[in-house]
């Protein structure tokens, strides 16, 4: 599974694997410093484990409040 670019805060970015949660770089950087995503051979990819969509979960929580 490929890394996904995540905007952490204040235009600071990092890459995160949606399957195992590995992040790179360790500290978020500005987008122009990020560079291309590195290769990631995820040990949890395609294991049939459920994947959670945090945007959907948080959206549902806001609706229930």
Judge whether 5 and 37 are in contact, CB under 8 Å: yes
* Confidence (pLDDT) at 60: 81
The values of phi and psi at residue 58, to 5°, are -65, -35
Range of the domain at 15: 4-64
Number of domains the chain is built from: 1
DSSP states along 1-65: ---EEEEEETTEEEEE-TTT--EEEEEEEEHHHH-SPPP---TTTTS------HHHHHHHHHHH-
Residue-by-residue pLDDT tens, the chain, 65 positions = 578 898 988 889 999 988 888 888 989 999 999 988 888 888 777 665 556 677 777 888 877 77
* Confidence (pLDDT) at 14: 93
* Confidence (pLDDT) at 63: 77
* Confidence (pLDDT) at 59: 81
Q: Is the pTM of this model over 0.85?
A: no
**How many Cβ atoms are within 10 Å of 17's Cβ, its own excluded?**
19
């Amino acid at each position: 599974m490929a890394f996904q670019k995540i905007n952490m805060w204040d235009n600071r970015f990092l890459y995160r694997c949606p399957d195992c949660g590995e992040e790179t770089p360790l500290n978020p950087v500005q987008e122009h410093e990020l560079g291309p995503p590195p290769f990631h051979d995820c040990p949890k990819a395609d294991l049939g484990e459920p994947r959670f969509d945090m945007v959907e979960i948080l959206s549902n929580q806001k609706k229930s409040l």
